[in-house]
Amino acid sequence: MRAYRVMDFGGKAGLTEIDRPEPGPGEVLLRIAACGLNFADLLMVKGEYQERPDPPFTLGMEVAGRVEALGAGVSGLAPGDRVAVFAGQGGLAEWGVFPADRCVRLPDVMPFDHAAAFLITYGTSHLALKHRARLQPGETLLVTGAAGGVGLTAVEIGKAMGARVIASARGADKLAVAQAAGADHLIDSDGADLRAAVKALGGADVVYDAIGGDTFMAALRATNPEGRLLPIGFAGGAVPQIPANLLLVKNLTVMGVYWGGYMAFKPRILADSIAELMGMYAAGQLKPHIGQTLPLDRAEEAMDLLRSRKSTGKVVVTM
């Protein structure tokens, strides 16, 4: 089978032929239909992600497809079932073996490309805004990188939770995407003074930041007293050093959010969140925005869309 593999950290990943795997105890063999790309995939190529598998390994954290075979001891699933999986790795391939307890059944109305664009981004935003920040109706939510994979879902979910949403993104085209997802106010990060623009709108009660660096610091200074800040990622390249004196003076709270980490210590919270999100999707409340869909033989081009930050919403690779 074909798979897009990292052979060495820091080197260039590429498409290669490997043997099709067989499921072991507690695993399923999935015929993969689609794989959603994430910023974390770029970090994994360089060995800079929190989870660091030993090369060689197949990229692709988020997959959807059809169960083909079951390993020993697997119950509750059957060949032919349509599922999505937070895989961690192994998604950019024609087949993959994954833990059965990570498989999520898909609603009949959810196509594979939507499923591959759903778990991590919607799961991260839902967990961050509902479980961590306790976002309340009527509060003001600032989302940076608002047209990206996670940012766009934060706009959509924040609006569904009754917040007033301020979206910051680069350029008119990306801002239009954020507005279509429900943003109430738009800030062009290319030219605007983010701190001044947010303060002019009354400040932020909750900040959902996927950019880091100077963007996070500007958002921090525009946060209202007792505000909550969620550092989601560092797409801008710099990890902010947070001045504790500002947290003290303004009674602010900074909350770390690593969605995948909950699998190890509070998996029930993830399961409940995913079930709620699937229900919202089935009810027509959520609609993944897929900016680009490319076939597996153009996986490197798909990765470049993430590197250049030219994509909106999710980039999906189909098999």
Full set of structural domains in the chain with CATH: 2-118+288-318 (3.90.180.10), 121-259 (3.40.50.720)
Name residues of the chain where pLDDT drops below 70.
Answer: none
Q: Which residues pair with 6 in a beta bridge?
A: 57
The pLDDT of residue 156 is 96
Q: Cβ contacts of residue 145 below 8 Å, gap of 6+?
A: 151, 168, 169, 209, 210, 211, 215, 233, 235
pLDDT for 206-265, tens place per residue?
999 999 999 999 999 999 999 999 999 888 878 999 999 999 999 999 999 999 888 888
pLDDT score recorded for residue 176: 96
The pLDDT, as a whole number, for residue 49 is: 85
What's the confidence (pLDDT) of residue 56?
Answer: 93
Give the pLDDT of residue 311.
83
User: What local confidence, expressed as pLDDT, does residue 319 receive?
Assistant: 95
Three-point CA angle 92, 18, 30, nearest 5° = 50
The per-residue pLDDT for 260 is 84
The bridge status of strand 140-144 relative to strand 164-169 is parallel
